[in-house]
Amino acid sequence: MAIKTEPFILNIGPQHPSTHGVFRMRVTLDGEVVVDLEPVIGYLHRGIEKLGEARTYTQIIPLTDRLDYVASMTNNLAYVLAVEKLAGIEIPERGEYLRIIMAETMRISSHLMAVGFFLNDLGAMMTPVLYMWREREKLLDLYEMVCGQRLTYNYMRIGGVSHDVPEEFLPALKKWVAEMPRFIDEYDQLLSQNEILLARTKGVCILPRETAINIAASGPVLRASGVKWDLRKADPYSIYDRFDFEIPVGSVGDNYDRYWVRMQEMRQSVRILEQAIAQLPEGEVCAKVPQLLRPPVGEVYGHIEAPKGELGFYLVSDNSIAPYRFHIRPPTLINLTALKDMVIGWKVADLIITFGSIDVCLGEIDR
Amino acid sequence: MTLLEQFQLWLGSSWPDWAAYIVPGIVGIVVVLAFVVITVIIFIWYERRLLGRFQVRLGPNRLGPEGIFQPIATALKILLKEDIVPAKGDKVIHWLAPVIVFVPVLMVFAVVPFGERAILTDLNVGIVYVVAISSVSAVGIYMAGWASNNKYALIAALRTVAQMVSYELPVVLAILGVVLMAGSLSMTQIVASQNLPFIILQPLGFAIFFLGTVAEMNRSPFDLLEADSEIVAGYHIEYSGMKFAMFYLGEYGHALAYACIISTLFLGGWQGPFLPPIIWFLIKVVAVFSVIVWMRATLPRLRVDQLMAFAWKGLLPMAVINLFIVAAEVLWLSEITPWLLVAVNFVFAGVLVLLWSKLFALGGGRVEV
């Protein structure tokens, strides 16, 4: 007996526990199988690009905090690097090192969130997230020590960082860095060989290497598909050429690889941190930069390897105190375009974890 | 003779016959109802505290000593909520569903032996009654999902039917193993026959029954009906207020009921040295419940096709083989010392589980259904 069936449309989001913000998907389902997917974005649009055009170059820095709020200092860094490139500003050594320390701790913090919530999407009710947060909480305490904030730091400045770290910061950071490899091992032991995790993620929702390159994916999503592309090595900015670290690369491009790459990157970030702390020089942390910076007429694109991928800032200067054009290349928006190709033909549950494995941040997508 | 029947006899000597029949019945029902509701409230508190420990946090600890009054505050909050019925939902079925989910859970306790004679009614087909009654809940859940007129609820409802029906089979086959060894369907007889708890005599049967019941009560890693991260709250997404409380109670009542059944069938029920029988029984129930909470705190969820494959390719064939092994042992090896059977059965269980994990690995890739 043939039963007449027809696909139906399920609206996932914008208020849904697994959309990591206010993302919305109109999913056409045939039973449990995804037939079509239409992402709807813009629920968190604040017009940051337009706001930027009415502010001085320094005033834009706190705006960038509100992009990827899980790694806000990385956004600061990408922006100030672009402005410094435009205005040709030299940064003191200690400032450079402090920036690297902040950027790499932010990467670990962001990846902890990503892996934790990936497991949450898989159905491991909050336990992995809370284990990850145990370490992230210590990092937030460190940031609070440095700039009094736990979410939006506004710490970077054009020419360096806003002020030197307090003297109790470095011992606390050293302690954290010394402990961290043990905790990453713990996560590995608890998660990486879990039978259900393997069954749910191995070979699921593969993003082929060619597709990943064609859609200009970046970050862990691209590297999981087997492309060895990391701006820290491919186009070294700041002082990354002084550190010794590996780029973990996945082989298949399935959900497990995206998870695995993030776990490995945390280890590499710890390596960078160890070297940076050992080499940290004394001295000034910020160059002398005029309050109302007027960069020469021209345009610039500065990009860095943010935790979620290539974060770029495009600035056009007309020699006034505010940029003529201020544009952001958010990594997760570009990575998200792969979602539909990845999930069609898979089940709803796979859609949810694949979305989690891309590790999006809606603050950055909607801007 | 159960305690209730004794009470009945004692009353019968002085009271009229009909009163001697009704009064013990009502007393028994009230006692069991009070026990279930109070235990469920304590279990809710216990689960939240235990989950807190598993998740490197404290859990609710503000209201009363160790936060013991937190579930009462939760219950009050739920009761004060507005009762919302979806405009286009089926109002009668929407109202009926929580009742149909909750009542069977209470009815299961009629045959749970809390002690040698502390049982409401010692049915001679007790375990069959349990199986029959507890599967009625699936109907209630399906009704809830259908009447809500919500797509998430509908997906949950369809998953329910598939899951409940699939896991019923291995559970019943595992029960048959127990029944064969005990030689009776009565709950008290099954307990009385366990000189050696059946968990030691039939480790494989216990594993199948335990996993099957965890799936039946929709607990992690088989909590596909609620699947917070996928279909938000599943079948009770459109419920609030008292009706939601019924589902909530029903869910924990189900867990409590199955913990009781597992203790009765496999852990030797009220039997145990030194302590009074009821204490032994409660210790075993809490132990089983703790394991269920432990699984909830640690395991990710299976996908729907893997869930089905696990039931039909994993548990069901193993349950059949287990049944044959037990039957053969009862038929030919009933004379030999039970400890030898224990050794044989552990070897069988180990070999079968290893074999099945090699043959039918869950596999992550695309499964055509």
- pLDDT of B367 strictly over 70: no
Q: Is A297 on the interface with B (CB under 8 A)?
A: no
At which of B52, B80, B108 does a domain end?
Answer: B80
**Which residue range forms the structural domain that includes residue B32?**
1-80
Domain boundary residue, one of B64, B80, B96: B80
Find the CB nearest B54 among A127, A198, A200.
A127
Q: Which of B60, B80, B100 is the last residue of a domain?
A: B80
The residue among B228, B279, B288 whose CA lies nearest residue B256 is: B288
pLDDT band (50, 70, 90) for residue B205: confident
**Cβ–Cβ gap B363/A199 under 8 Å:** yes
The one-character DSSP state at A325 is E
How many CB atoms within 10 Å of residue A266?
26
Taking residues B210-225, what's their average pLDDT? Answer: 83
Helix (H, G, I), strand (E, B) or coil at A239: coil
pLDDT recorded at residue A111: 92
Question: What is the pLDDT confidence band of residue B369, given thresholds at 50, 70 and 90?
Answer: very low
Please state, in angstroms and rounded to a whole number, the distance separating the CA atoms of residues A23 and A43.
7
CA nearest A147: which of A165, A159, A134? A165
CB-based contact, A18 to chain B, within 8 Å: yes
- Whether B110 and B220 map to the same domain: the answer is yes
- Of A302, A3, A10, A272, the residue nearest A156 (C-alpha): A302
Do B127 and B268 lie in one domain? The reply is yes
pLDDT over 80 (residue B360): no
ipTM summary value: 0.80
pLDDT at residue B15 greater than cutoff 70: yes
Residue B368 lies in a domain: no
Look at residue B363 in the predicted model and tell me its pLDDT. 57
**Which of A32, A137, A191, A343 is the best mutation test for B, with the most CBs of B within 10 A?**
A32
Q: What is the distance between the alpha carbons of residues A249 and A226, in angstroms, rounded to a whole number?
A: 5
Per-residue confidence (pLDDT) for residue B231, from 0 to 100: 78
pLDDT in the model for residue A108: 92
Residue B234 and residue B96 share a domain: yes
| A346 and B CB contact within 8 Å | yes
Question: Could you tell me if residue B317 is inside a domain?
Answer: yes
Q: Collect the ranges in chain A with pLDDT lower than 50.
A: none
Inform me whether the pLDDT recorded for B216 exceeds 70: yes
At A105 the pLDDT is: 92
Task: Please compute the mean of the pLDDT values over residues B77-85 and round it to a whole number.
Answer: 86
Instruction: Match 């279990």 to its residue by tokens.
Output: B43
Chain B interface includes A147 (CB < 8 A): no
The minimal CB distance from A202 to the residues B155, B229, B364 is found for B364
Report CB contact under 8 Å: A124, B304: no
- Residues B96, B151 within the same domain: yes
Task: Give the pLDDT score at A314.
Answer: 92
In a shared domain, residues B125 and B265: yes
What CA–CA distance (Å, rounded) separates A203 from A253?
Answer: 8
Summarised one tens digit per residue, pLDDT across range B127-168 is 889 888 888 888 888 888 888 888 888 888 888 888 888 888
Whether B106 maps to a domain, the answer reads yes
Per CATH, the homologous superfamily of domain A48-329 is: Cytochrome-c3 Hydrogenase, chain B (1.10.645.10)
Query: Given an 8 Å threshold on Cβ–Cβ distance, is A131 in contact with B55?
Result: yes
Q: pLDDT over 70 for what percent of chain B?
A: 96
Tell me if B220 sits within 8 A of B293, measured CB to CB. Answer: no
CA neighbours closer than 13 Å in the CB half-sphere of residue B63: 11
pLDDT digits (tens, 9 = 90+) for B233-263: 778 888 888 888 888 888 888 888 888 889 8
Mutation site, A33, A254, A347, A354, interface B, largest B CB count within 10 A: A347
* Residue B300 to residue A197, Cβ atoms within 8 A: yes
Tens of pLDDT, residue by residue over B283-328, are 888 999 999 888 888 888 888 888 888 888 888 888 898 888 888 8
Same domain as B170, residue B211: yes
Name A334's Cβ contacts closer than 8 Å, sequence gap at least 6: A215, A216, A217, A218, A309
Domain tally, chain B? 2
Question: Rounded to whole angstroms, how far apart are CA atoms B101 and B137?
Answer: 5
In this structure, the answer to whether residues B45 and B72 fall within a common structural domain is: yes
Instruction: Tell me, yes or no, whether B268 and B136 share the same domain.
Output: yes
The pLDDT score that the predictor gives to residue B366 is 46
Q: Specify the pairing of strand A33-40 against strand A156-157.
A: unpaired
Q: Please give the helix or strand (H or E) that residue A10 lies within, else none.
A: strand A8-12
